[in-house]
Structure 1
Amino acid sequence: GPDGGFIEISGKINLAYDGNADLSAPQGQAGTLLFDPKNIFIGATGTHDGELPNIFKDTDPGVDYFISATALNALTGTVILEATEGIEIQEALNLLSSNITFRADTIVANASITGETITFDGLSTVSLQAPVTATNLNLKAHGVIVSNIVSNEIQTTNLSIIANGSWIAAPVKGSGTLTLDTFSPDQSVVIGGTVNTPAWDLYDHELNRFSGFGTTVIGKPGNTGSLSFVDNPTVRNFVRNTNLTVNGMGSLQGFNQDATWTLTGTGQGRMNNGDVAFNFNNVGRLTGGSGRDTFVFNPRVDFGGILDGGTGLGTLDYSNYQRPAQVNLAQNQATGTLAVFNIDSYIAAPHQGNVVSPPQQISPVLPPAIKDAVTVTPPPELNELHSNPTAHPNHGNQDQERALGVGDRHGVERLLDGLDLEGAIAALDEFFAGELLNYLGKRHSGRTLNVAEMQDILKTGSAETGLESALIYIFLRPEHIDLILIPPEAAPIHYTVPVAKTEVLAMVQRLRQEIGDPVRRMTVSYLPPAQQLHQWLIAPMQADLDRFGIEALLFSVDSGLHTLPMAALHSGQGFLMENYNLSMVPSLSLTQTQRTNLNQASMFAMGVADFVVQPDLPAVPMELKAIAATQTQTQTLLNDKVTWDNWRTHQGRGVDIVHIATHAEFRPGAPDQSYIQLWDEQISMADLQSIPWREQGVNLLVLSACRTAFGSPEAEFGFAGIAVSTGVQSAVASIWPANDVATLALMKGFYQHLTTAPTKAEALRRAQLDLLNRGITLDGGQLVGSGMAIDLPSELQKLGDRPFHHPYYWSGFALIGSPW
């Protein structure tokens, strides 16, 4: 008999579907129901027709469409819900009589789903926030999130995850095959997680979420990315217990123990590493670990790819090859391969006389695999804090003779361990100052402040602004964190938090990844690392911050934390910047702390919108126009007028604020490796020191589109030291380049608030709150809110309507130097 029919339901204005569609066929296959509006919301009921004029009045048509769960549950056959932007499931679905596909840019399931075959086919994000039960479950998107599932878990027979990144924070139970594949063919995968690559990191705690699967398949033919394994018990258990097969990757790197790679065909074979073994197919390159890796050729096999011995010892074994083989290690050549590298020896077939080139150590033509310098613990769960922090009052004897060499890390540790807290604070400030000045190639022209002088600065700032301020030092040791709180008047307090430095830095990396990943911008995947870092770095002091009535926090932090977006730390109730205005001081003794009134400031602003190599910044002309309107005196330069000569000519005496809206990057290496992109040249950050900033009276420098390399101490020092290196009192800079329109909104708000806020840090906080609380949005081709209505050019109108509440848009901006 004939198959069932095909029904398409779409709408340009609105869609409310809460009826039944008969897709059955008397003898053939059940039919297909296709929805294809712009956004779909699945709830308890469809849209109420009588309320439509009120719901959609004065709004952009075609935005929100509603389908009832009851209607979907009644369907049989194949159901496809396709939207151009988003799908949100708000009501439980029971789809045992149908196979359903959700297809959209972003898909969020906030209610449970039961079905046979359920497919979430996303572009940006698929986020499961409720239980799912299915025979076959398919998750596909740049980012896949499974979290916040308390009462149940994901239950399926077969599960397929196709993604470039994931956050698995809930149990996933199966009984069949687990398939893990990359959304982009060139994406790399690290089983066990790492902080050293931009790969899809499946951390240990994510691997532990999977259970019951009989087989795991990773990759597919045609993939060009790499697959590697962190060698630890969790990863080994995962590989061993799930009968792993690698079905296609550009390269495959093994474990850091002795391994045998048996080559059985072109791009295929089996890796055996003691208690762990797996098969692989369609792999172009094999790389050993730090142990002894032996590549065994089965009879007459042409592997057809590259064999790399890695950082350990590599051996080619032709003992079973059954035909002549030639090896020339000096030329990186060996029969049955495309090339060989880092091979130390070979085993010829018995009586084979035509293997050439004696075994020898050679310099590899290709760089060897990078060996991890440190072991990084993957992010723990949100509620995992190893133990309660310990608070120490200041028991130091001020008359006690202090240890020599206090301006180094070991000197600080000795003083802290000896309970000389005031000595440790002075030593820590000196140490942080010395690190920065050493990078900048400068000498300390002042002296180290003592605690009483630091508190005098805090009291003065509090009295002049009405905001009670405190200074916080964060010092990372291998085994724990030292937190030091200096209130304006009471004695300093020292807290120790038993969390290793590697854990902290791994969590910082995780937070930056979650916030900065564009595919997760409609999710709250940043919350677990944001809340964990708050638990480690802020929560131990919270009771004392409340007791002292602190409203402003000045952070002086250890290496690795300079580019932590402090504003995004989350207490579980709100972001840190919702309760405090924040600033980063590399060292209080290097900071110009006198308060300057910028309510009637003069500004020199310049920006570049059009670039040859780097991405254009089309909002820059509007940014310059918008911020110029907030100040009484403003000079502006745009595009080809932004040259080094013009900069030095126009920036003269009497300028309070210098605003630079162009690409800038803090990079590893010396200061001359970091740059600001002008119209026709790049000038290094070191070149900025040739401008007499302090003599000209410049108080504030703003870099609105800069990027800072993560994991590089030099890049961090460049970012943290921008105020010190130039001589300005304060700087505002971005850790990452945010959305062009969001930057326009934040900068316009910052300068508006600067005319009324008591401090620069408070002005930045208010501008960030405008974005967080959706006070400024992109609506109908305009940037609207907080007294602004800015028409955007056509290339920016294509972004569509959107808020800017996600921390990606606002938390990357930090105030460096004096908050006052």
Structure 2
Amino acid sequence: MNPAGIIFGAGARINVPASFTATTATGIGFEDGNWFDAFGDKNNYQNLIGDPTSFAFDLAQQRSIINAGELEVPDNSTIALIGGSVINTGQVKAPGGNITIAAVPGKSLVKISQSGNLLNLEIDPPRTPNGQPSLITALDIPELLTGQAQGIETGLSANSNGTVQLTDSGTTVPTETGTTIVSGTLDVSNQELGRRSVTVLGDRIAVIDATIDSSGSNGGQVWIGKHPQDNPDNVRLNANRTFVSRDSVINVDGKNSNQNGGRVTVWSEETTAFYGEITAGGAKEPTPQAGSDRTSDGGTVEISSQQTLIFDGKVDVRAPLGKNGTIRFNDRNITIVPGTEGDGQQLGDNPVGFDLMEILSGDGGTSGFTLGANALEQVLGNIVLNASNDITAPNVSLNFSGDITIDGVNVTLGDIKTNGGAITITASENLSTQELNSSDPLTTVGKGGDVTLNGDNIQVSWINAQGGIDGKGGNVEITTEGFFRATGTFDTLIEGKETAVSIATVGGDGGGKITISHGGNGQTPFEVGNSITNGTEGAISTGDSTILPPESFLTSTSSDSGDIEINTGEPSSNATSAGQAMATNLLGNSSTSAGQAMAEDVISNSTSAGQAMAEDVISNSTSQGQAMAEDVISNSTSQGQAMATNPYSNPANIFPSRPQLYQYSLEFLPILTQPKPQAIAPKTEYTQINHKNTKLEPNYNLKNLEFVNFTPKSNLINIYYNQPAPQTIAEITNTNSTNISQSLAQSVPQQVTSKSSKSTLEAEADVKQLEGGFTYAFEKHLGISNTPIVTLEEAQAHLRQIENITGLKPALIYLFFKPEFKPETTKGNLVNSKGLTSTKPERERTENRQKTRSHWQENLDTQLELLVVTASGAVIRKQVQGATRSQVLSVAREFHRSITNLESANVYLPLAQQLYRWLIDPVEQELKAQKINNLAFIMDVGLRSLPMAALHDGTGFLVERYSLGLMPTLSLTNMNYVDIRKFQVLAMGASQFKNKNPLPAVPVELSMVTEQLWSGKALLNEAFTVANLIKARASQPFGIVHLATHSEFLAGKPSNSYIQLWDTKLQLNQLPKLGLSKPKVELLVLSACRTALGDEQAELGFAGLAVLAGVKSALGSLWYVSDEGTLGLMTTFYEKLQQVPVKAEAIRKAQLNLLRGTVRLERGQLVTDQGSFPLPPALAKLPDVELRHPYYWSAFTLIGNPW
């Protein structure tokens, strides 16, 4: 031990009978808790017995260990070199034992488990001017290393500029504390002895021109950058950066036919760059003494990073005498590109393969792994690609020599061929591939590889898992909670006839089993011959069994031999009771006979000989009993009584008669008689309601809904309705003795009160009312008219189409303030309990819409409500009590002000959380249940200028969970989807202005967008005119128009708002003159705009931008973002748009990159996860800037069609 530092010169040897440790620690701990301290004279040497257990590093900057000698210990022993930084250029050998080389940054306590003797080595340290010894510092190392100065040969040389190089290669190496440099040889190989390991640890690790050998009995283990025991005590020893050069070799082969390959792990927190060679295979040929029945399997290799992974190396885990091993690549995001276009694959024969100093001395990873297909295909063995986010290789054909396993969040792939290897792909969200071919065409007896797919939604072109003429086909197993689509076919022989198939597992020795489990659930069929929604384009065949198109399966089915199974969940549950039943939100076929039925929402085919009590009943017939409901849709009612509010189409003659029903409903039904206790039957258990309120009511009146003079076209009724006094049902006790206290008192304030639409027709009225009211406001402001109003059915059809095409699960969220007024009613209008008019044609008249909007805007005490529409299922409607218009808008204004003030740090956060509680929390459970991942907001006045991405739930931002968009209304939005990547971009802008601040980043922005990130044409400054824009579009139909200039959305009429061109202000009402709708522009980008906070006209202009411009989507900002922030966001947006051709997903990923710090300004460059881009001089002189604050990224909002 020498805290000043240790150097083993080229001629150094050790001669010890056991293990050996050299350290620059300041203290050594022993088993009995005693310490040996390198400083002072307080050591009790008599008590320093036993084995060392830990090393203490107490100095602020730890000192170095350098080895250029030959350090060797006996068999089964350990060598450990532990210092502030460790450089090895010599040989370290521990046959059958362990080698640990660890660099310890900063003050640390390092615990050890290996036992061994200690050897204290001292060198003559530098002297102070007074002749006193001084500790070696980082600045002393270059001088100390010069051979002439100290006479010690270390394999290192110092340059005149103070840098240090490896003598043989000339490679410059860093000398900072925490750096480990391994060159030369680390050898623990042994044919007989097991449990061998080499461990290399440090904050920054470089393995350069090194040979690491742990081969032999069952292969050994090599850990580079990661401690073998992954627990909190060892986290600090894991590497941030790890580099392995092209001329480095790591060998953990099993040597004999009874020995397996070992394990190699190369790992880092931030950046791993691997260019070297790893062999971890089994024995290459039988060993006579091992016996002919022994096998030798390949080992395991993991090359991973938490942020950035660079790979252009060679890995071989094949096992001729056994099973091939596995190579794992782990990263946050993985992108596979064609040929040799991956990171680090265009570096020639440079043995280092990359700028070592940039890897070890840079400031961090870029959150991604771009891998060239050639490098991946040259890996020999089974491959696992694992990403904590997405894996993309959409236009790449991959050919593997073994099994391939891919696991990510969203997985987008091209063709995959494995020559008999298995294909396993798992996506926690969406999975999309092209051709999957695991057949073995090379041999007649080859077996087709198994194909296993798991994902929320899955789409492939086709799957070929066929075996050879004398071989077996592989099994195909597909599991999705959504839909599966096989959109292509290939030809194969089935029963001697060439057949177009989408899935085939045919084999001469038998076909593999095909199992498809999908989420149709008895509502969406699986169709063979129709791949549009859920099914295959062609046939499905195992050889023994074939399903030829067209076939449709609504429920689960299987072939006679059981080798083809198509499975799905059952339809919504049935409920049947022979007596009295009470149900809430029961969907399915519900029948009740000789008893009473009570429910909030019942969709039923028949109710007979009993009493039916419900808030909502949709029924074909009710006979010989009583029905009472808030909403009743019924074809006939006879020999009984029914009471209801809000009847709809095909209504019965509903009239009050003989009140005999007990109060089970929250809102409408008081106790009228004293009934017997009644049972609730959920599934197979029974729950008894202990009635505490047994008061008898002398009469019953429906109140609160004023008398409506209505001239019906069918047998509708007149209704009196009012809210009753609060009722309470206290104890609910079921048969397993569980007591539940439940208060139903409406008088108790609740943060969120459910107001779900009670029927399909009422939901249609809700949606149409909101669409009509909001659409009229935009029409009035933008000067347009006669917009067809979208119905609920049309809205859900649009969402299903988007879901099928993109794999996203979208939802529309209407945020509005419930009107608190009594609307005027006209002939043909029926008003329901929510103050919304019914779906009569007269409601669509402009004057009615205008009247509705005027009432909506008058009352600041109106309550916030949310209405959610998804691709299928019931509409969700919630009212947030206590959240009035005045309260919500007040918090929204303060949130807007605080988030745009960088000096206020996190002052915005409590406001962001409050808004999240109001605007998202009430419906989030439903969103999670349906796995919604894309939200399109349609919002009321004052909410349209909210940066929704920055809403926060206390653990994360909204944009971390959903991709987002802002729609004016669905009726005003073009919902068609087109892959935007096929369009070019027309980028125009200005960097200088007469009366506005300059935008110095604009020239770089335009250049990057049109030349590096996308393809297109750029027009800057003087060329940025209306005439040139129209001329450019006339000559080429650019699908993307990018305008980098000042834009203002101001109060008042549209002509007050404008986009600043070089020579004029283009007013908002002049946008149609640009002709962007002929042909339609898919995306209009305004990279520097601002919206007047909370002003209705300004919000209408901003949210209606896409409508007025005639484009499908627009991207703009709610406030002026700094030049550097805008450049960072826009650069990353176009990068992501190439990878994920869904606009909302691309802007989300761009925002996340800023939030997570992977996009930043550093050393005069813009750093993204795709590389670095030089900044213009005006920005290059700025200090390094992180763009994590939501000021930089949350303002950017996608308007119109978010897909």
> Which TM-score applies when normalising by structure 2?
0.35
Q: Which runs of 4+ in 1 moved over 3 A?
A: 44-54, 56-60, 630-633
- What is the SS of the residue equivalent to 2:750? coil
Give the 3 Å change call, closer, same or farther, for CA 730–748 of structure 1 in structure 2.
same
Q: State whether structure 2 residue 1005 is matched by structure 1 residue 619.
A: no
The answer to whether 1:588 aligns with 2:929 is no
- Of 742, 749, 756, 1:393 maps to 756
Q: Is residue 665 of structure 1 aligned with residue 1007 of structure 2?
A: no
Write the distance in 1 (CA, Å) between the matches of 2:63 and 2:1097: 61
Matched residue, 1:548: 930
Pick from 1189, 1192, 1196 the counterpart of residue 813 of structure 1.
Answer: 1196
CA contact (8 A) 2:868 2:877 kept: yes
C-alpha distance 59-809 of structure 1, shift in aligned 2 (>3 A): closer
Alignment partner of 1:440 out of 782, 790, 794: 782
- Aligned partner of 1:805: which letter? R
Between Structure 1 and Structure 2, the one with more helix by share is 1
Amino-acid identity (%):
38
Deviations along 1:177-224, one digit per CA (max 9) or x if unpaired, are xxxxxxxxxxxxxxxxxxxxxxxxxxxxxxxxxxxxxxxxxxxxxxxx
User: How do residues 88-167 of structure 1 correspond to structure 2 at under 5 angstroms?
Assistant: none
Letter in 1 for 2:967: V
Aligned to 1:313: none
Corresponding residue for residue 771 of structure 2: 429
CA distance in 1, matches of 2:1054, 2:1070: 9
Q: Given the alignment of the two structures, is residue 776 of structure 1 paired with residue 1139 of structure 2, yes or no?
A: no
Separation in structure 1 between the aligned mates of residue 760 and residue 1107 of structure 2, nearest angstrom: 33
Q: Are the aligned partners of 2:945 and 2:1094 in contact in 1 as well (CA < 8 Å)?
A: no
Q: Which amino acid in 2 is paired with 1:438?
A: K
Cα distance between partner residues in 2 of 1:46 and 1:808: 37
Query: In the alignment, which residue of structure 1 is the partner of 2:1070?
Result: 687
SS state at 2:1115 partner:
strand
Of residues 645-654 and 561-570 in structure 1, the stretch that sits farther from structure 2 once superposed is 645-654
Query: 1:601 matched to which residue of 2?
Result: 983
Question: In structure 2, how many angstroms separate the alpha carbons of the residues matched to 1:562 and 1:602?
Answer: 30
Q: CA deviation at 1:45?
A: 10
Q: How far off its partner does 1:47 sit? A: 7.2
Letter in 2 for 1:767: A
Stretches of structure 1 that go unaligned for 5 or more consecutive residues are: 1-43, 61-384, 399-419
Change (3 A) 1:630 1:731: farther
Secondary structure in 1 matching 2:773: helix
How far, CA to CA, are the matches of 1:624 and 1:668 in structure 2? 30
Q: Name the amino acid aligned to 1:506.
A: S
Aligned pairs (5 A) from 1:67-78: none
Match of 1:558 in 2: 940
- Structure 2 match to 1:568: 950
SS at match of 1:590: coil
Amino acid at match of 1:531: Q
Cross-structure match for 2:1136? 753
- 1:650-799 equivalent positions in 2, closer than 5 A: 650-652=1032-1034, 653-799=1036-1182
Paired residues in the alignment total 428
CA distance in 2, matches of 1:49, 1:587: 66
Call closer, same or farther: CA 1:459–1:618 in 2, change over 3 Å: same
Query: 1:18-40 CA deviation, whole Å, 9 max, x = no partner?
Result: xxxxxxxxxxxxxxxxxxxxxxx
Q: Distance in 2 between matches of 1:396 and 1:473?
A: 18
1:458-493 Cα shifts (integer Å, max 9, x gaps) = 111011001111111000242311100112111101
Give the drift of 1:797.
Answer: 2.2
The Cα offsets for residues 624-643 of structure 1, whole Å up to 9 and x where unpaired, read as: 11111356641111011112
Give the CA deviation at 1:49. Answer: 8.5
SS of the residue 2:1120 aligns to:
coil
Report the Cα distance in structure 2 between the residues aligned to 1:630 and 1:449, rounded to whole angstroms.
41
Is the 1:630–1:751 Cα contact (8 Å) retained in structure 2? no
User: C-alpha distance in 2, partners of 1:819/1:666?
Assistant: 21
Structure 2 counterpart of 1:744, one-letter code: L
- Contact 2:763 2:792 (C-alpha < 8 Å) held by counterparts: no
CA distance 1:560–1:792, change in 2 (3 Å): same
- Please tell me whether the aligned partners of residues 1080 and 1112 of structure 2 are also in contact (alpha carbons under 8 angstroms): no
Contact persistence 2:980–2:1141 (CA under 8 A): no
- 1:46 is displaced (CA, Å) by 6.9
Residue 486 of structure 1: which of 866, 869, 874 is its match?
A: 869
Distance 1:601 1:804 in 2: 29
User: Per the alignment, in what secondary structure is the counterpart of residue 866 of structure 2?
Assistant: strand
2:879 is the counterpart of 1:501 = no
Q: Report the AA paired with residue 806 of structure 1.
A: H
- Aligned partner of 1:451 in structure 2 is 792
**2:894 equivalent in structure 1:** 510
Residue 392 (structure 1) shift:
2.5
The residue identity in structure 2 corresponding to 1:453 is E
In 2, Cα distance between equivalents of 1:45 and 1:708? 55
1:610 paired residue number? 992
Q: Is the 8 A contact 2:1090 2:1118 kept in 1?
A: yes
Aligned letter for 1:441?
Answer: G
AA paired with 2:817? L
RMSD: 2.2
Cα distance, 1:670–1:580 mapped onto 2, change above 3 Å: same
One of 807, 815, 835 as aligned partner of 1:474: 815
Amino acid at match of 2:884: A
SS of equivalent to 1:744:
helix
Give me the TM-score of the superposition, normalised by structure 1: 0.50
Q: Give the whole-Å Cα distance in 2 for the aligned partners of 1:765 and 1:563.
A: 18
Letter in 1 for 2:991: A
Deviations 1:714-758 (A, max 9, x none): 111110000000111100001011111121111111112112214
Distance 1:707 1:45 in 2: 53
Per-residue CA deviations over 1:780-812 (Å, capped at 9, x if unaligned) read 111112113111133212321111111000000
Q: Say which SS state the counterpart of residue 549 (structure 1) adopts.
A: coil
Which amino acid in 2 is paired with 1:682? Answer: K
CA 1:497–1:467: 2 relative to 1, 3 Å = same
Counterpart residue identity of residue 887, structure 2: E
Structure 1 position 59, deviation (Å): 6.5
> What CA distance in whole angstroms lies between the structure 2 residues aligned with 1:490 and 1:793?
52
CA distance in 2, matches of 1:682, 1:746: 25
Name which one, 1 or 2, has greater alpha-carbon Rg: 2
Q: Distance in 1 between matches of 2:1087 and 2:894?
A: 24
3-state SS of paired residue (1:771): helix
**Aligned pairs (5 A) from 1:22-33:** none
Between 782-791 and 536-545, the greater mean CA deviation after superposition: 782-791
Shift of 1:53: 7.9
Distance 1:691 1:803, change over 3 A: same
Give the direction of change, closer, same or farther, for the CA distance of 1:609–1:387 in structure 2 (3 Å limit): same
| Contact 2:1009–2:1015 (CA under 8 A) maintained in structure 1 | no
Contact kept, 8 Å, 2:1026 with 2:1074, in 1: the verdict is no
Alignment of 1:164-203 (within 5 A): none
